[in-house]
Amino acid sequence: MPPLVEVRNLRFRYDDGTPALNGVDFRLEAGESVALLGANGSGKTTFVLHLNGLLTGQGSVEVCGLPVDKPNLAAIRNKVGLVFQDSESQLFMPTVLEDVAFGLLNRGMNAHEASERAKAALDTVGMAAAAARAPYHLSAGEKKRVAIAGVLTMEPEILVLDEPTTFLDPPGQRALAELLCHLPQAKILVTHDIPFAHAMCTRAVFFENGIIAAAGPVEEIVTRFGWEFALERRKLSR
């Protein structure tokens, strides 16, 4: 079976010329959950934006066997469900239901069916009661769940979440982890949250200066790059 995501030698520069990605190779197989670790600015978010064609670089990016090209974008954006870091900008419609139905309506589904499917997705994430509410009034955790519902309606094969636990308190993080564990899709998690990555992911890759410097089990990557942060008073230098 072909990998869900296959990236070969991906390079990308920003408009002002700064190199962001310097030759990234990456593979995602069905059922996997991979954590993308690395410092801020190391290219993790830039990388995931290539997976659904929001950014285009040089090299090859293939999703479910399809190259990420203009003619394939519509299909690929169904297969890759991207949950952005800032839910406020992702839930841009006036009500929760309208937002969750957004993707379905774009596909040409009629209003009634889109509404029903959206309600089902909200049910999956436990937010059915909020259908008529304005997104602004929801808590960070609730917004994240609605965003996930909006992505689930597209029936993606891959879920990509960019820093999903930012803004979430520990109970919120736990609820999110619970929800994600029950979803069958392969997952890519861009995250700084080591316990979360540890709980959710089978393996990790470490981004450094626009390339993947290492890959392996989460534990191993974390210790190798000193990415753990144990709060021991004696060890902290004065």
Partner 1 sequence: MHHVVLERWSRGRSIIHRRDPRAKLATLLVFLVVLATAHHNLVWLSLALLAFLSAAVIAAGLPLAGVLARAGIVLPFSAVFAAVSWLAGDPGRAVALLLKSYLSALAVLVAVSTTPLPALIRGLEMTGAPRFLLMVAQFLYRYLFVISEEAQHMTKAAASRGATARSLAGSRSRFRAAAGALAVLFARSYGRAEDIHRAMLARGFEGSFRTLGALDFRGSDACFAALASLLLILTRVAIERAG
Catalog residues that contact partner 1 under the rule CB under 8 A. 49, 52, 54, 74, 77-78, 80, 82, 84, 86, 88-90, 92-95, 97-98, 101-103, 105-107, 111-112, 114-115, 132, 134-137, 150-151, 154
CA nearest to 36, candidates 228, 221, 223: 221
Pick the closer one to partner 1 by CB: 95 or 209. Answer: 95
Distance CA 228, CA 161 (A): 21
For residue 186, report the phi and psi dihedrals to the nearest 5 degrees: -70, 150
| Minimum gap (Å) between residue 123 Cβ and partner 1 | 17
Task: Yes or no: say if 118 and 95 are a contact pair by the CB < 8 Å rule.
Answer: no
The helix/strand/coil state of 68 is: coil
Tokens of 224: 């190798």
Pick the closer one to partner 1 by CB: 136 or 229. Answer: 136
Element (H, E) at 90: helix 87-90
DSSP E strand stretches across 75-222: 80-83, 158-162, 186-190, 203-208, 211-216
| Minimum gap (Å) between residue 224 Cβ and partner 1 | 33
| Minimum gap (Å) between residue 136 Cβ and partner 1 | 6
| Minimum gap (Å) between residue 71 Cβ and partner 1 | 14
CB atoms within 10 A of CB 3: 17
| Minimum gap (Å) between residue 111 Cβ and partner 1 | 4
Pick the closer one to partner 1 by CB: 130 or 221. Answer: 130
Rounding to the nearest 10 degrees, give the CA dihedral for residues 165, 170, 172, 175: 100
| Minimum gap (Å) between residue 33 Cβ and partner 1 | 20
Pick the closer one to partner 1 by CB: 41 or 94. Answer: 94
